[in-house]
Amino acid sequence: MFKKFFYSQKIAPYVFILPFLLTFLCFWIVPISNGVLLSFQDVLKDKWVGAKNYQRLLTDKIFFKAIFHSVRYMIGTLVLLIPFPMLFASLLNSKLMKKPGLFKSIYFIPALTSVVVAGIIFRLMFGELDSSLANRVLTLLGESPIKWLHGELTSFFALLLLCCWRWTGVNILYFTAGLQSISTELFEAASIDGANAWQQFTRISFPLLKPTTIYVVTISIYAGLSMFTESYMLWAGKNSPNNVGLTIVGYLYRQGIEKRALGYACAVGLVLLIIIMFINIIQLILNGTFKKEER
């Protein structure tokens, strides 16, 4: 009986997707549902407050500042971590590169480094002392030392540099995998027709890397808007001066963990979820992901 049940062509597909459905239910639907309920409550007072948490968000200047920082950080990562890894991957995949595996390993090492360790190292690099690495570079260039982690733009530069250092190698591997799925016959034919390396990249590699690019853009949008640990470690777990390094998730942590305003923190988290889903759905529509393929 059980053998007949599991070998049924109608039932077997549902058996295979059952683990995913259970995981999705336990770790996605249930937490989000609880979060929605909590966002309408004052958890400490065990009191239903309706839409007051969301009304508070509309007048919270710090919340909007955190959104601005997260969106700016996301845009910066998209500008830097899409085109440059794609070019590096093309170079590593070319016949001109000797020992590409060695360079791939070197690029990927930062991703294996703990974000806590990376945050501490970059905090020391951009320290206030004249002897910190960033200030020593400024001194060599004839400029005066500055407090990197106190300024709006300099803090953003430090965060963006940390992000690029950690994730460039990962994106290179994504694009390398995409390039290796492209038939070499296309490049050989283009080479015979007289196409140079740049023309081969723009006419063959770039268009055929579209699925990989869409995937990298999607995860980069999510990672950029949900960034927290890098900022938290760069300022040693303390509030950054004038909130120059505050992100949406950092603000959620401040409200939910530090101030124990769990209902308000849930409202912040749900707004973040809506923003991420909205931006990703828009970019997927613009990239034609939901269009039906022509036969």
Contacts of 12 (CB under 8 A, 6+ apart): 6
Domain ranges within the chain, ordered by starting residue: 61-286
| pTM, two decimal places | 0.87
Cα(261)–Cα(279) distance, integer angstroms: 27
pLDDT tens-place string over residues 17-74: 888 888 888 888 888 898 899 899 888 888 888 889 999 999 999 999 999 999 999 9
pLDDT tens-place string over residues 217-264: 999 999 999 999 999 999 988 888 899 999 999 999 999 888 888 899
Tokens of 157: 């530069």
| 148-152, 153-157, 263-267, 288-292: least confidently modelled range | 288-292
Confidence check: pLDDT of 5 > 70: no
- Write down the CATH superfamily of domain 61-286: MetI-like (1.10.3720.10)
Cα(66)–Cα(269) distance, integer angstroms: 12
